[in-house]
Amino acid sequence: MSDKPGCSRSENEDQKPEDLQIVRKFYRQNLLPKTIEINRWWETRILTLFKKQLEMESVMWNLSTLGGAYSAYADYDLNSVHVVEGISRKQLKIASELGDENLTARCHLYLALSKAQKGEFEEAKKMTGAIYLWAKFSNRQLVIRCAQGVWAKIVAIEKIGTPAQKPAISQKNGKNGKTTSQKAICL
């Protein structure tokens, strides 16, 4: 404690005497650098990696926005499903490069949703179930909630279809002589 009234103990006083002796020893033996040389090659390498990472994240944000818009539109136009699937595959590739497991899992969920929009419900459910189990096992709460949401959407599409799927189902049912009632529309 300091002898001056009103002064508190400084951080240096909390250090062990052995720690201070080691620092003094290194300082006396000139083992601490007086100047620091910047490794320009390493700096350039790190800056390049940083810019690449930032650019990939920016592309990912844009693809996410675009993919969400096309996914919503795919409920009304089946041709957009192929665009959504392509966007999801690009997102998956970027997420793998970024090394973000949560993002990679969510990209798999986006792919599962596009499969459901194409009418491939079994494949979509397998993918969603696998991601859900992985997230549950590794305690990834965000991915668990995303998987539950995608599962609900898949089940809804399977039960009532989408506006884009209804005309295709009506045409298919009309060829077989079946009526196009609500039960016929259910997949």
> pLDDT: is 66 or 166 the higher one?
66
In this prediction, residues 65-72 reach a mean pLDDT of: 90
> pLDDT: is 162 or 1 the higher one?
162
Confidence of residue 177 (pLDDT cuts 50, 70, 90): very low
Closest by CA to 146, choosing from 86, 103, 93, 88, is 103
Residues of the chain with pLDDT > 70: what percent? 72
Q: How does 144-172 read in b/e, with b if 16+ C-beta sit within 10 Å?
A: bebbeebbebbeebbeebbebbeeebeee
Both structure tokens of 181? 């009632």
* 161 domain-assigned: yes
Predicted pLDDT at 154: 95
Confidence of residue 15 (pLDDT cuts 50, 70, 90): low
Q: How far apart are CA 30 and CA 1, in angstroms?
A: 31
* 32 domain-assigned: no
Closest by CA to 126, choosing from 139, 114, 112, 138, is 112
Q: How many domains does the chain have?
A: 1
* 35 domain-assigned: no
pLDDT tens digit sequence for 91-144: 999 999 999 999 999 999 999 999 999 999 999 999 999 999 999 999 999 999
Q: What does the DSSP 8-state code read for residue 163? A: T
CA dihedral 186, 79, 112, 163 (to 10 degrees): -30
Task: Give me the domain span that covers residue 103.
Answer: 49-185
Find the DSSP H helices in 9-160: 11-14, 17-28, 40-74, 79-98, 101-118, 121-137, 141-160
* 18 domain-assigned: no
In this prediction, residues 77-82 reach a mean pLDDT of: 88
* 44 domain-assigned: no
Residue 167 in this model has a pLDDT that exceeds 90: no
Residues of the chain with pLDDT > 90: what percent? 49
pLDDT tens digit sequence for 28-39: 666 666 677 778
Q: What is the DSSP string of 52-79?
A: HHHHHHHHHHHHHHHHHHHHHHHTT-TH
* 128 domain-assigned: yes
* pTM, full prediction: 0.66
Predicted pLDDT at 75: 87
* 167 domain-assigned: yes
* 27 domain-assigned: no
